[in-house]
Amino acid sequence: ISTVKRLRSKFCPIMKKVAILQSNYIPWKGYFDLIAYVDEFIIYDEMQFTKRDWRNRNRIKNPSGLQWLTIPVLSKGNFHQKIFDTKIDGTNWASTHWSSLEKNYSRSSFFNEISSWLKPHFLERTYSFISEVNRVFIEAICSFLQINTKISCSSNFNLIGEKSERLANICKQTGASEYVSGPAAKDYIETKKFSDQNININWFDYSDYNEYPQLWGNFRHEVSILDLLFNCGKNSHNFMKFIKTTSHHK
């Protein structure tokens, strides 16, 4: 290593941002902004699967308001199972979901552009586990949005301790200097577990998103990112916070 590189390493240490979040089914735009903001995004699927949650469902817009798209899953003893152990119940959900998307977004400005790469993930693939389908869609959308963040799974790490201690230890294994978390976690994160590892916590801000041209009545932010993609296509980054400033610098 050169003397210049040694000096840079000593006086300008590399700062690495990491986020750890459970996998969601085609999540909203804020989820992808978080991915774009950090250097490594870790899908935390060792957590218990929770019913009526974002793990296997999300919302789209239709003429009547909001509509759920839900992937049916199999239960192991009243859903006492990890997310990565949760199997999908059947295959009909994929064609049903695509039909709903086609019905409600076919008149959107960028339907043909988005469906050209999205439709095969519904109709030309089969999935066994919810974590599998979630990762496929997350990575496909990141590719379209040119988000180059490294995506890992929690199974790649030694899971040491419980709750906040475990998250801090995952961050330490990645070489992170900063853990980025959604503001809701303020209620339960033990910040000392991170400071003990010399890791700062950054609370991500999901507020103040601009509205975009959206079908079907009053504007709603709380929908799957597919709503944004169908309506805005390649211009979607103009209605997000970090993609346009970070995606090309990873």
Q: Cβ(138)–Cβ(151) under 8 Å?
A: yes
> What pLDDT was estimated at residue 243?
64
pLDDT at 11 over 60: no
> What pLDDT was estimated at residue 13?
61
Question: What token pair was written down for 67?
Answer: 């509509």
Q: Cβ(149)–Cβ(38) under 8 Å?
A: yes
Residue-wise pLDDT for 70-124, tens only, equals 999 998 776 789 999 999 999 999 999 999 999 999 999 999 999 999 999 999 9
pLDDT at 56 over 90: yes
Rounded mean pLDDT, 216-225: 96
> What pLDDT was estimated at residue 60?
98
CA–CA distance from 22 to each of 27, 145, 163, 206, 237 (Å)?
A: 11, 21, 13, 17, 23
Residue-wise pLDDT for 143-201, tens only, equals 999 999 999 999 889 999 999 999 999 999 999 999 999 999 999 999 999 999 999 99
pLDDT at 250 over 70: no
Residue-wise pLDDT for 192-220, tens only, equals 999 999 999 999 999 999 999 999 999 99
pLDDT at 8 over 80: no
Which of 76, 90, 69, 28 is CA-nearest to residue 48?
76
pLDDT at 134 over 90: yes
pLDDT at 51 over 80: yes
pLDDT at 246 over 80: no
User: Strands 57-62, 65-70: parallel, antiparallel or unpaired by DSSP?
Assistant: antiparallel
pTM over 0.85: yes
- Long-range CB contacts for residues 212-217, cutoff 8 Å, separation at least 24: 212/236, 212/238, 212/239, 213/109, 214/61, 215/61, 215/104, 215/105, 215/107, 215/108, 216/61, 216/62, 216/63, 216/65, 216/104, 217/61, 217/63, 217/65
pLDDT at 1 over 90: no
Percent of the chain with pLDDT over 90: 86
SS3 217: coil
Q: Cβ(194)–Cβ(172) under 8 Å?
A: no
